[in-house]
């Protein structure tokens, strides 16, 4: 039985991988959906929007609008912190449910996964079982008549469809959704009547599909705002805030701006984490007020304190201790994130001494952002010297590998004191980092720049 379930799970993974897009489209977007209202006169939008076909495919799965609405969707977009914010929301609501009975069951959809694809679809924060994942994916595949090649939904669209299918079958009381990387045309934006939408900090990311300007990116992210749904945004830079406000006004939606709450209990690894928690708390209380309007319709002080004290989200401000080596693991991968992860590292590393060592292992996905600017942001934000820097590619693609030399040159110019190593295999990069660290009496190793690299590090350190 166990062997057959594992075989079914591996077959499901193989099918999903066969539906991956081999390369990002380079041709202009082919869609009837509106693109003329983007701020830029020359948007970089390419290919067919992922949202296209989603509602039809949900209908083919037998799911009505009423069933989708019954999920009570909370939809979150942004550049930085959207997965963390979704997780805080889930944790807050589940903590309230323990005390009051509502919500009884939560659904959480986030991405990308670090080690196991089931991390993306969770019930009461636990990844769905292999059997549940395989069965529900098989039902999606059968209902839509999908083969390993051919027309129909692609990898991420299938995952989103499987999540909706799973949450409807499980009868969750709330479903918290993180967008894949956009908003307006994102596959997750097929829900017409979410309860609440929220936008985390926005910066320059996924420029090839959402840019070229930050206001274009903000336009896309704010596309999740819907008439009738409460809308929240974290504090943003002025141009971004204006664009989000304009999109909310288009839909006659009152937009609430949430600042970082200094009164939240506990210690946060960075100010951005406090802002994520502040936004999540405001959204959670609004949801409870709308869906559970009684005397216990907001989180108690003890609810909030327990969630913040026990909060964990693998690959985000994650510290792993191995003997005398401290591994700082964070999937930061854009300019907005680098000062935050560098500040966390700066504030926690061991004092500089002849017997201590610091190592950086860095990867970056080429084409989605200006990787050179990300490297510069990290180099300029690390206060303490890092003796050894290892650059490795995000993937085996020629573009990712070719870019390593540019990163090495950039770091050598900005931090000439560092010994720089170029390694094509991320696993070998982690082994080298571990070896360098073990040669000192104590060491601090920072792994960042790519969630793929972070996933590899978590597996390497036996935390998976």
Domain boundaries, given as residue ranges, for the chain: 49-310, 318-461
What's the mean pLDDT in 25-36? 55
- 50-69: average pLDDT: 95
Q: Where are the alpha helices (DSSP H) in 30-129?
A: 54-60, 65-69, 82-100
- Please report how many Cα atoms fall inside a 13 Å half-sphere around the Cα of residue 439, on the Cβ side: 12
Q: Is the peptide bond before 286 cis (omega within 30 degrees of 0)?
A: no
Q: In the predicted model, what is the mean pLDDT of the chain?
A: 91
For residue 233, the surrounding DSSP H or E stretch is strand 230-234
Residue 355: the pLDDT is: 84
What the block records as the tokens of 124 is: 């009461």
Per-residue pLDDT of 191-202, as tens digits, reads 999 999 999 999
* Whether residue 367 has pLDDT greater than 70: no
Fold of the CATH domain 49-310: 3.40.1190
Structure tokens at 112: 């990308």
**451-460 vs 426-438: helix axis angle to the nearest 10?**
60
What is the C-alpha to C-alpha distance for residues 129 and 9, in angstroms, rounded to an integer?
10
Residue 155's SS3 state is helix
Q: In which residue are the tokens 């690299």 written? A: 453
3-state SS assignment for residue 207: helix
Distance CA 301, CA 92 (A): 11
User: Does 121 score more than 90 pLDDT?
Assistant: yes
Sign of CA dihedral 312, 343, 339, 379: negative
Q: How far from the centroid of its chain's Cα atoms is residue 205's Cα?
A: 12
* DSSP letters for 320-384: EEETTEEEEE----STTTHHHHHHHHHHHSPPP-TTEEEEEEE---TTSS-HHHHHHHHHHH--S
Mean pLDDT of 366-374: 76
For residue range 227-260, what is the model confidence (pLDDT) as tens digits?
999 999 999 999 999 999 999 999 999 999 999 9
Which percentage of the chain shows pLDDT scores above 90? 78
CA distance 397 to 58: 34
Give the ranges where 182-297 is alpha helix by DSSP (H).
207-210, 214-221, 238-250, 271-291
Name, in order, each residue with C-beta under 8 angstroms of 280's C-beta and a sequence gap of 6 or more.
85, 86, 88, 89, 92
Range 95-101 average pLDDT: 95
Secondary structure of residue 6 in the 3-state scheme: helix
Q: Which residues pair with 445 in a beta bridge?
A: 327, 359
pLDDT at 331 over 60: yes
DSSP state of 28: B
* 223 or 26, greater pLDDT: 223
H or E, element range at 453: helix 451-460
CA angle, 168 as apex, 167 and 171 as ends, to 5°?
85
3-state secondary structure of 441: coil
pLDDT, position 24: 57
Q: What's the mean pLDDT in 122-149?
A: 95
Q: Mind listing the pLDDT tens digit for each residue in 402-435?
A: 889 999 999 999 999 999 999 999 999 999 999 9
203 Cβ contact list (under 8 Å, min separation 6)? 79, 80, 214, 217, 334, 335, 336, 337
* pLDDT confidence band for 208 (50 / 70 / 90): low
**pLDDT band per the 50, 70, 90 thresholds, residue 42:** low
pLDDT of 5-15, one tens digit each?
Answer: 899 999 999 99
Non-local (6+) Cβ contacts of 147 within 8 A are: none
Q: State yes or no: pLDDT of 363 exceeds 80.
A: yes
Architecture field, domain 318-461:
Alpha-Beta Complex (3.90)
Report pLDDT digits (tens) over 295-319: 567 999 999 999 999 999 999 999 9
Find all residues with CB under 8 Å of 235, minimum gap 6, and list them.
Answer: 241, 257, 258, 259, 260, 275
* 50: three-class secondary structure by DSSP: coil
How many residues in total does the chain contain?
464
With a cut of 90, say whether residue 442 has pLDDT above it: yes
**pLDDT tens, residue by residue, 210-225:** 777 899 999 999 999 9
pTM over 0.85: yes
| Alpha-helical segments (H) within 101-213 | 130-144, 155-170, 207-210
Predicted confidence band of residue 28 (pLDDT cuts 50, 70, 90): low
Lowest mean pLDDT among 105-109, 112-116, 130-134, 353-357: 353-357
């Amino acid at each position: 039985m166990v062997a057959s379930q594992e075989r079914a799970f591996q077959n499901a993974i193989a099918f999903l991988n066969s539906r991956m897009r081999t390369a990002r489209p380079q041709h202009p977007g082919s869609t009837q959906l509106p693109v003329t209202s983007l701020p830029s006169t020359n948007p970089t939008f390419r290919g067919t929007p992922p949202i296209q076909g989603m509602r039809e495919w949900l209908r083919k799965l037998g799911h009505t609008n009423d069933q989708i609405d019954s999920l009570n969707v909370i939809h979150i977009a942004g550049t930085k912190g959207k997965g963390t914010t979704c997780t805080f929301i889930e944790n807050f609501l589940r903590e309230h449910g323990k005390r009051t009975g509502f919500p009884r069951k939560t659904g959480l959809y986030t991405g990308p996964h670090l080690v196991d694809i089931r991390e993306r679809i969770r019930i009461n924060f636990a990844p769905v079982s292999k059997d549940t994942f395989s069965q529900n994916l098989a039902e999606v595949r059968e209902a839509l008549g999908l083969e390993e090649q051919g027309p129909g939904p692609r990898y991420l669209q299938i995952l989103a469809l499987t999540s909706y299918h799973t949450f409807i079958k499980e009868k969750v009381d709330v479903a918290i959704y993180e967008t894949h990387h956009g908003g307006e045309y994102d596959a997750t934006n097929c829900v017409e009547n979410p309860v609440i939408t929220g936008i985390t900090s926005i910066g320059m990311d996924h420029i090839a599909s959402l840019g070229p300007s930050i206001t274009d990116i903000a336009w896309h992210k704010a596309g999740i705002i819907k008439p009738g749904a409460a809308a929240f945004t974290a504090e943003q830079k002025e141009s971004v805030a204006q664009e989000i406000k304009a999109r909310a006004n288009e839909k006659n939606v009152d937009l609430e701006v949430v600042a970082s709450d200094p009164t939240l209990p506990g210690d946060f690894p960075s100010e951005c984490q406090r802002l994520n928690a502040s936004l999540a708390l405001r959204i959670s209380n609004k949801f409870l007020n709308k869906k559970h309007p009684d005397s216990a319709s907001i989180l108690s002080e003890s609810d909030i304190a327990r969630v913040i004290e026990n909060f964990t989200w693998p690959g985000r401000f994650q510290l792993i201790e191995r003997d005398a080596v401290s591994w700082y693991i964070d999937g930061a991968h854009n300019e907005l994130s680098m000062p935050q992860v560098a500040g966390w590292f700066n504030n926690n590393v061991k004092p500089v001494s002849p017997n201590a060592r610091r190592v950086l292992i860095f990867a970056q996905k080429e084409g989605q952002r200006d990787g050179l600017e990300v490297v510069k942001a990290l180099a300029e934000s690390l206060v303490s010297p890092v003796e050894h820097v290892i650059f490795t590619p995000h993937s085996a693609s020629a573009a990712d590998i070719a870019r390593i030399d540019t990163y090495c040159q950039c770091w050598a110019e900005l931090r000439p004191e560092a010994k720089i190593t170029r390694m094509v295999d991320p696993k070998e990069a982690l082994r080298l980092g571990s070896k360098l660290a073990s040669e000192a009496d104590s060491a601090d190793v920072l792994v960042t720049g790519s969630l793929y690299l972070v996933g590899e590090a978590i597996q390497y350190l036996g935390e998976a």
